[in-house]
Copies of this chain bind each other. A is one copy, B any other.
Amino acid sequence: MTTGTYHRENLRETLLEFAERTVRRSGVEGLSLRQLARDANVSHGAPARHFRDKQALLEALALDGFQRLNQAMTDAAATSGSFDTRFRAIATAYVSFVVENAALLGLMYTVKHGADASETLVETGRRSMGATVALIAEAQAAGAVQSGDPERLAFVAFASVHGVAVLATSDMLDGVSVEEATDAVVDMLLSAIAAPGPLA
């Protein structure tokens, strides 16, 4: 332990953690740099040393969110099993992340869409679809999925699953459980994407 009040362990991560917690509890509009500084027992000017802007703080938060999301999806894609199983795993992972991080996801898309979004943020966000594209391309090669541009197929799938997730966080599924809704959409996607086989 050093002499006392000055140096912090690493303020940047501390601030991000508090920020994440605040966003989860009170939404983005409840986020204040000064309150964050108070949470971290630090003067109101300190955060500026680590984040030029409030916007920069939000960007860092969004980037972290995309990285965790991508990790969850690639992990899900790495499970062993049939194409259907793995595809469902990815979809479930995506929906779960969105449901458990609803406010953060809103922030993620807002910031990414913003005019001053950094290149790495946009790139990381775009990479979200990567695992799905790869899985579909692989399944195409194995003959389990109909031919066609894998990006296009992945886009359709990604959009549908994303829609379920968003509606789930908007209380629009009227009694239907999230799992049920996800399964319904995945069923439809799988039947629409499957290679036309001898089973007709």
**Contact stretch, chosen from A5-13, A37-45, A79-87, A172-180:** A172-180
Assess whether A155 is in contact with B170, with CB atoms less than 8 Å apart: no
- Per a CB cutoff under 8 Å, which of B110, B159, B181, B200 touches A167? B159
Assess whether B167 is in contact with A158, with CB atoms less than 8 Å apart: yes
Residues of B within 8 A of A171 (CB): 113, 122
User: In the complex this chain forms, how many copies of it are found?
Assistant: 2
A143 interface residue per 8 A CB criterion = no
Residues of B within 8 A of A174 (CB): 126, 151, 155
A32 interface residue per 8 A CB criterion = no
Assess whether A172 is in contact with B110, with CB atoms less than 8 Å apart: no
Residues of B within 8 A of A192 (CB): 188, 191-192
Interface residues, chain A, CB within 8 Å of chain B? 27, 102, 106, 109-110, 112-114, 122, 125-126, 129, 151-152, 155-156, 158-164, 166-167, 169-174, 176, 181, 184-185, 188-189, 191-192, 200
